[in-house]
Amino acid sequence: MRRTDRLFDLIQILRDGRLHRAQEMAERLEVSVRTIWRDMATLMGSGLPVEGERGVGYILRAPITLPPMILTADELEALRLGVRLVAEGADPGLARAARGLASKIATVSPVLTEPDADELFVFTGGETTRASPHLPTIRAAIRGKERLSITYVDPEGRQSHRDIRPLQMEFWGRVWTLAAWCEARRDFRSFRIDRIVALTATGEGFPDEPGTTLADYRAQTATDTAQGPAADHPG
């Protein structure tokens, strides 16, 4: 059995919402318990609402299926273009997810069939290529509210080191930017991710302190209509 097929089967087993032990799932899929442990770690790391640990068992805490929907032609086209945009963002994890989503869309809607699924993987330039290694780490840090340590090069070529609280990634067609709270400057900053030359997850979490949150950042920039993809503020 291919690993992708096995992961799919594990999700089907967990759909009933009950606690399942690794030994039980190993016997059903005819694999070792260690294989189940590795597969469950993969599912949990992918963001699925799976909880559990070795020796206890695993459970799916929330449904991962969508109810049936009827979409208009325009809505279907928007969905197709959204999938393409995610793939062009060059985040390897999201690109793989986009490919899987495109395949699922194609099986249920003749309107959205793609002649070649690999056409989704179109990099728009060097900026996205340079940004791509950092995107998964940043995405995980935003979800986990984890501080990052970065080495950044500004447009004049000056290098600086920052400890930041990552808040939001934005894609501007060719360029990814990262909105963050800079610990040194005690203010919000926007960094072009392709100009981050080194990035480390510190393992240190950060609290939602008034004046430093994503909501605060959005409120501060709500009237700044001039900000665009080239607007990074390393100051």
Quickly tell me which residue has 């449904």 as its tokens: 63
Binning pLDDT at 50, 70 and 90, where does residue 147 land?
very high
Q: Please name the residues in contact with 119: beta carbons below 8 A apart, sequence gap of 6 or more.
A: none
> CA 57 → CA 27, 44, 60, distances in Å?
14, 13, 11
Q: Is pTM, for the whole model, over 0.85?
A: no
Q: Above 50 in pLDDT, residue 120?
A: no
Amino acid at 49: P
Average pLDDT over residues 142-162: 91
Tens-place pLDDT, residues 169-191: 887 767 888 999 999 899 999 99
Residue tagged 């665009």 (tokens): 228
Task: Give the pLDDT confidence of 55-88 residue by residue, as tens digits.
Answer: 889 988 876 666 666 777 777 767 776 777 676 6
